[in-house]
Structure 1
Amino acid sequence: MPETDDLALLTDAARAAGEISRGYFQRAPKAWDKPGAAGPVTEADIAVNDMLEERLRAARPGYGWLSEESPDDAARLNAARAFVIDPLDGTRAFIEGDYAWAHALAVVDNGTVTAAAIYLPMTDKLYSAARGQGAHLNGARLAVSAADALDGATVLASRTNFEPWHWVEAQVPQVSRKFRSSLAYRMSLVGEGRFDAMLSLRPTWEWDVAAGSLVVEEAGGRVTDRRGAALRFNAAEPRVNGVVAAGPRVHNEITRRLV
């Protein structure tokens, strides 16, 4: 099956990425700000991206390529399948010496994620998923939490997502809010069932959430944009209108209560 073959390719590449990034972590890597207030980048991001692009494109020359650290090539829009890659998700955490950063790799087939790998090198946590075959953490099957209400839920999100103007009648849900720098890791933690939901209400780059969306879905959860619409990937403008990921009941309540 192509999903299985692609998943094996992604997991091997994710671990190889970890070998590179560990060599830079907590060793004062060169870092700079990207133009247009697009956030920080380090020499580790670039080294990982270069390896992944060479390795993955050589293995699947017919696939398109979309990565945070590569110039966008419109040729990807003509490819039925494409890689959607965040070489190092959570660069701020990486720079600060926090372990909560990840390599996030996905394959998209006509807009739908079919294989995904998210690897946290410093804790050796490998989240993986293939369409129709479940989600796993280091080989153990994952399932989202059984929470059935938003109030009282544990939610991974930045503080700004709980400003009153985001919520119907300014009724902010009463949740236990936590944070991780990497969006891919946040989604993986929801798939693992350690947290009940995650949300990001601003426009979100595809590479931040493509891999994580499949992990959550294959663990039994739902992932949509902030309006409840299905996510599609490898778009000409590679951003989605926010993202909400949770078990089905909590997800439905979040999207119902958002403005």
Structure 2
Amino acid sequence: MTTITASPLNKQLARFKEIHVGGAQYLDRLTAGDREAIPLLVQVGKLIDSIYIRQHWSGNEALHAYIMGQDPREAKLELGLELFKGPWGLDEEKFIKSIKEQDKDGHVHQKIHIPHEPPQHGNYYPDDIKKQEYLDWVASLEGQDKLDAESYYHVVKRDAKTGKLYAVPYSVEYKDFLAPAAELMTQAARLVSDQSLAKFLKSRADSFISNEYVQSDVDWLRISKESALDVTAGPYE
């Protein structure tokens, strides 16, 4: 048997309001190709959302999968996770207090341990890392290894056997999301009417695979003001 202990979310959810975005005046500007591209770009957004969930906290994906798999459904908890992307609300206090499981012998244990506060370093670094350990490790590196360790586009992992730290590019760590996102953006680039937007979509798709973002950042800045669509997708805070 599993028990979920949670705080009421009514006050926090009351601060949000669902609104309808768009209308005929916006849609009239879109070509048929633009309209075909929008569902593809929405899928990209959902994939990027999944990356954020993984980045927020090391146990976040397991927590989301568990809550979303409840029967009957936990509608408010699902909405809370959708809005806050983790078990902590606007005040950074966790609204999912604990998930405990009782085994066949009657012993109760934590099924998913949820920290009291969101980790300051998210899931970009090992849960147990200390700042000085990271600084000492970076100081021991040279050349490309050091650049990777300090890169905005890498995460730091710990080898399970040796305990040593190492850097992993986003293109590898999030390949299961970035590869399909790149394919969708490439498809969308063939459909959109504005060529400056198409250029950005193609170069950003390349960035998702290569882990090199300079050119696609430049292309993003050069999207024409006349473009009916504005797309932002990438490693931004």
TM-score range relative to shorter protein: under 0.3
TM-score by length of 1: 0.26
TM-score by length of 2: 0.28
Which of the pair has more CA radius of gyration? 2
Greater strand fraction, Structure 1 or Structure 2: 1
Higher relative contact order (CA 8 A, sep 6+): 2
Greater helix fraction, Structure 1 or Structure 2: 2
